[in-house]
Chain A
């Protein structure tokens, strides 16, 4: 299981928790598990998010590996100018 930290605006959608544990070895698997296990997060995930793994901010690649001890932080989707 990987602990995924959520930004506080999402916490009301997961009974007030600041993180949730899901199965996954890649960013894509983590997002799939979040969508499956916490359907209330679905609209947010559909709108687009980024994921930080051990400090590396991943904007779109679903294949980035995630270790069991990795620090995983869900972030608002990163955009640039």
Chain B
């Protein structure tokens, strides 16, 4: 039986661009998102949040709220599990404050009532007595000697002695001798860079409907990137047996990493347990900004030495990230990604995870990598400018490739950075002339990608069609990709396959849709599940022909005898084998469960042209080209969409988006009026080039593509703006006032 589907060319379905299976539901409003669920007797919830950046909770008096008509339950921290440790404890602290409110917007109590209006009124009736404490929201200020200690004892064993208690994790790596390397250089540049916290900006706010009885059995409907994780964390926070809570993932209106944890789901379940009624909880946009998980903000120093011919002699980076009031800012990822594109003899990188009085950071596409690329690629650009070198040629000269040592110690396997640089160099964009007032920026970017625990089940129907059940919420078109990969193995049309996101009671464990893992890991599992079904189909054909199963192979939807010795049999179509499957051995299914660890890393190179208005300081991105290694593009339109989406979000991060905190430690711009994400008129057409350097860890060569696309934009845009205005832009966002300041500094 020919069951090994590993191949990287000669595809019939993979690489085509069929219509998306969820398209009609989404354009007609039929798709059900987080807030679309209802249940008989449902209550509506609202959350009481701290108006202070840092305050001791002295007393909570809910008696007036509970006396209101229609109010059915109030919960506080006392209604959750005790004795938690580690990340479960951190998540609970974030979901519902214990004895201290740690940031503006931190939840302190919640209400369930018969209407949303009553719930909203009731939280106003809850009286909370606070003792205000000193606060700090800035990463550099948080590690000054006199900074208030936010959570004493929060540092882990990685932190060297003598650092401020707000440094809670420390990472350091590298090799060679950077000081000797800098001494060899013809030019050494060291700069300080900052980036502000940004939000993923998903259009759908967090929403859920929870039901939990006194018997410890529950149901939860929610928008999430990972419902098995929701199940596990909610069970821990509420003291339940994990399997007694069934979680169903709704359609998701964007996640980008921000929906990889829980914020409101345990609260809805706690209220439901207390009221003995289903409880719906939907965040407002303001709550999403104040109390979900934005990115870290950063303060970074990068120093690179280069010879006149463009050879890098040494590189060093110090990356300080604040991740809110809890450990977890991805300082290690930032440090590891920083110099990954370069083959360096001497390199040293340090990361600091710093806590402040802000909400707990969450992932946002390649967490930590975009900021690192901004700092490193800006210095690379400045070196090229001062030495009069071509920025792509310099990157090619120093590029990481198979067999070189990465900045974090491994020997690179087959990677595609050089191919992206060559494709960028050959692209017409790179040679196109610039107009006055415009500048061009180049940047590389890197992300690891991930595999993770995965279960997939595939079931044949009597008519020869197939259904696939996966456990990874579809955040980027994965249902189409799964159907294409199954079609390739089964040899049936894409349209004959339906892919469904199963709930936690219908499939084995699945890790979150994160780490750009879904097309890689669920795709691999889908291929293996389809192969298992094909193996059984071949077995059924062999039984019909009364020949050994080994004498049958599968081709383009047919079972065929493998040669003259197998006998003269007419090929059997899949429909002829499934039609009577109940009578020939029972249902034909395939399944696969594993933790695949062969996710191939991904590199990208971006080219950006920006134009700056010297009177207003406003920047317009006039041309943008993304070149990225996808390994193998299963559905190229979705891959291009990921490339364009990363670039679009990067444009917002680079030019406008930022969390602005006042002196009082409160967020000043918790809404889309004051937090400006790009709209269509802000964006150029974003051109894409898919490079395909197959990943040997996937049967069809897939590498994750969802995150790498946001790694280069901050740097590429900053380089374009810097080259347009003639001043190195070292702070993001490059809002108009900041660009005007740069122009004024240049003009004296």
Query: Is chain B a partner of chain A in the same complex?
Result: yes
Which of B213-221, B238-246, B359-367, B737-745 faces chain A? B359-367
| Contact partners of A59 in chain B: CB under 8 A | 450-452, 597
Task: Kindly specify which of B51-59, B329-337, B436-444, B637-645 makes contact with the partner chain.
Answer: B329-337
Chain B residues whose CB sits within 8 angstroms of the CB of A80 once the complex forms: 257, 363, 366-367, 447-450, 514-517, 707
Q: Given A80-B515, A81-B256, does the pair A9, B408 have CB atoms closer than 8 Å?
A: no
In the assembled complex, the Cα of A44 lies from the Cα of B336 at a distance in Å of: 17
Contact check, A81 vs B172: say whether CB atoms are below 8 A apart: no
Q: A42 → chain B, closest Cβ, in Å?
A: 8
B342 touches A (CB below 8 Å): no
B residues 700-743 touching A (CB-CB < 8 Å) = 707
Closest to B332 in A: A76
Question: Which of B257, B411, B452, B595 is in CB contact (< 8 Å) with A81?
Answer: B257
Contact, CB under 8 Å: A43 / B157: yes
Interface of chain B residues 598 through 642 with chain A (CB within 8 A): 598-599, 601
Tell me, rounded to whole Å, the shortest Cβ–Cβ distance linking B416 to chain A. Answer: 14
CB–CB B409/A79 < 8 A: no
| Residues of the B chain whose Cβ atoms lie less than 8 Å from the Cβ of A52 | 409-410
A66: Cβ under 8 A from any B Cβ: no
A73: Cβ under 8 A from any B Cβ: yes
Secondary structure class of chain B's binding surface, majority of residues: loop
Contact present for A75 and B408 (CB under 8 Å): yes
Contacts A76-B171, A79-B330: A61 and B363 contacting too (C-beta < 8 A)?
A: no
- Compute how far the CA of A9 lies from the CA of B352 in the bound complex, rounded to whole angstroms: 12
Partner of A56, one of B367, B447, B453, B697: B697
Report B-chain residues with C-beta under 8 Å of the C-beta of A56.
Answer: 413, 597-598, 697
Residues of B within 8 A of A76 (CB): 171, 332-333, 336
Distance (whole angstroms) from the CB of A75 to the closest CB of chain B? 6
Question: Binary interface profile of B, 125-161, with partner A (CB < 8 Å = 1, else 0)?
Answer: 0000000000000000000000000000000111010
**A60 engages B410 (CB within 8 Å):** no
Q: How many residues on chain A are close to B (CB under 8 Å)?
A: 27
> Does A57 interact with chain B (Cβ within 8 Å)?
yes
Q: What separation, in Å, do the CA atoms of A25 and B158 have in the docked complex?
A: 27
Contact, CB under 8 Å: A44 / B363: no
Given contacts A58-B597, A80-B707, A81-B257, A44 and B157 within 8 Å (CB-CB)? yes
- A67→B362 CA distance, assembly (Å): 37
* B-contact bits for A46-81, CB 8 A (1 contact / 0 none): 010000101111111100100000010101111111
Partner of B515, one of A8, A43, A78: A78
Question: Could you tell me if A71 and B411 are in contact, using CB atoms closer than 8 angstroms?
Answer: yes
Asked if A81 and B260 sit within 8 Å, CB to CB, the answer is yes
Docked pose: A7 CA to B175 CA in angstroms:
9
Residues of A within 8 A of B260 (CB): 81
Are A7's CB and B366's CB within 8 A? no
| Given A9-B170, A75-B336: A60 in contact with B412 (beta carbons within 8 A) | no
In-complex Cβ contact of B410 among A12, A44, A64, A73 (8 A):
A73
Q: Kindly state the separation between the CA atoms of A27 and B293 in the bound complex, as whole angstroms.
A: 33
**Could you tell me the distance in whole angstroms from the C-beta of A22 to the nearest C-beta in chain B?**
17
Quick check: is B6 within 8 A (CB to CB) of the other chain? no
Query: Chain B's nearest CB lies how many Å from the CB of A13?
Result: 8
Residue of B nearest to A55 (CB): B413
CB-based contact B595/A8 at 8 Å: no
Contact B333 A75 (CB under 8 A): no
Residue of A nearest to B169 (CB): A47
B327 and chain A: residue at smallest CB distance: A47
Find chain A residues with CB under 8 A from B115 CB.
Answer: none
Closest to A27 in B: B597
Q: Is B174 an interface residue (CB 8 A)?
A: yes
Q: With the chains together, A5 CA to B406 CA distance in Å?
A: 13
> Which A-chain residue is minimally distant from B256 (CB atoms)?
A81
A2 to chain B: closest CB distance in Å? Answer: 15
Residues of B within 8 A of A7 (CB): 171-173, 408-409
- Asked whether, in the complex, the Cβ of A81 is within 8 Å of the Cβ of B451, the reply is no
- The reply to whether B158 and A44 contact each other, CB–CB distance below 8 Å, is yes
Q: When A7-B409, A47-B156, A59-B452 are in contact, do A79 and B363 touch as well, CB less than 8 Å?
A: yes
For chain B residues 392-416, which have a beta carbon within 8 Å of chain A? 408-413
User: B650 → chain A, closest Cβ, in Å?
Assistant: 14
0 or 1 for each of A16-51: is its CB under 8 Å from B? (1 = yes): 000000000000000000000000000110010000
- Tell me how far the C-beta of A74 lies from the nearest C-beta in chain B, rounded to whole angstroms: 8
- In the complex, residue of chain A having the shortest beta-carbon distance to the beta carbon of B410: A52
Cα A48 to Cα B517 with chains together (Å):
19
In the complex with contacts A7-B173, A78-B448, A55-B597 CB distance below 8 A: no
User: Given A8-B172, A55-B412, A81 and B363 touching (CB < 8 A)?
Assistant: yes
Q: Which chain B residues border A55 with CB–CB below 8 Å?
A: 410-413
- Residues of A contacting B514 in the complex (Cβ-Cβ under 8 angstroms): 79-81
B409 touches A75 (CB 8 A): yes
Min CB–CB distance A53 → chain B (angstroms) = 9
Task: Report A-chain residues with C-beta under 8 Å of the C-beta of B156.
Answer: 43, 47
Within the complex, what minimum Cβ distance (angstroms) separates B408 from chain A? 6
Interface residues of B in 240-274 (CB under 8 A from A): 256-258, 260
Within 8 A of A (CB), among B147-193: 156-158, 160, 170-174
Most chain A CB inside 10 Å of its own CB: which residue of B157, B174, B707: B157
B595 touches A61 (CB 8 A): yes
In chain B between 579 and 607, which residues have their CB closer than 8 angstroms to a CB of chain A?
Answer: 595, 597-599, 601
Query: Smallest distance from the beta carbon of B323 to chain A beta carbons, Å?
Result: 12
Q: Within B448-479, which residues are at the interface with A (CB < 8 Å)?
A: 448-453
Complex Cα distance, B601 from A5, in Å, reads 20
Q: Write the chain A residue with the least CB distance to B156.
A: A47
- Please, which residues of chain A bring their CB within 8 A of the CB of B595? 60-61
Contacts of B408 in A (CB 8 A): 7, 73, 75
CA distance in complex: A61, B593 (Å): 13
What is the CA–CA distance of A19 and B408 in the complex, to the nearest angstrom? 14
CB of A61 to closest CB in B, whole Å:
5
Chain B: minimal CB distance from A81 (Å): 3
What separation, in Å, do the CA atoms of A37 and B390 have in the docked complex? 50
Find B173's partner among A9, A58, A64, A71 (CB 8 Å cutoff).
A9
Q: What is the distance, in angstroms, from B475's C-beta to the closest C-beta of chain A?
A: 10
User: Measured between alpha carbons, how far is A60 from B697 in the docked complex, in Å?
Assistant: 16
CA distance A7 to B336 in the complex (A): 10
Could you tell me the distance between the alpha carbons of A50 and B516 in the complex, rounded to whole angstroms? Answer: 17
Q: Which residue of A lies closest to B596 (CB)?
A: A61
Residue A57 contacts which of B257, B333, B363, B448 (CB distance < 8 angstroms)?
B448
* A81 lies within 8 A of B158 (CB): no
CB distance from A76 to the nearest CB of B (A): 4
Q: What is the distance, in angstroms, from A54's C-beta to the closest C-beta of chain B?
A: 7
The verdict on A81 contacting B171 (CB below 8 Å), with A60-B452, A71-B411, A73-B409 known, is: no
Q: Are A8 and B173 in contact (CB under 8 A)?
A: yes
B window 514-555: CB within 8 A of A = 514-517
What are 13 A-to-B residue pairs whose CB atoms are below 8 Å? Answer: A7-B408, A9-B173, A44-B157, A47-B158, A56-B413, A57-B599, A59-B451, A60-B453, A76-B333, A77-B332, A80-B367, A81-B364, A81-B365
Q: Which residues of A contact B (CB under 8 A)?
A: 5, 7-9, 12, 43-44, 47, 52, 54-61, 64, 71, 73, 75-81
Give the top 4 A-B pairs by smallest Cβ distance, nearest first. A80-B515, A81-B257, A81-B363, A76-B332
Given contact pairs A9-B172, A77-B332, a sample of 13 additional A-B residue pairs in the complex whose CB atoms are under 8 Å apart: A7-B173, A8-B174, A47-B157, A55-B411, A56-B597, A57-B601, A60-B595, A75-B408, A78-B448, A79-B450, A80-B363, A80-B366, A81-B365
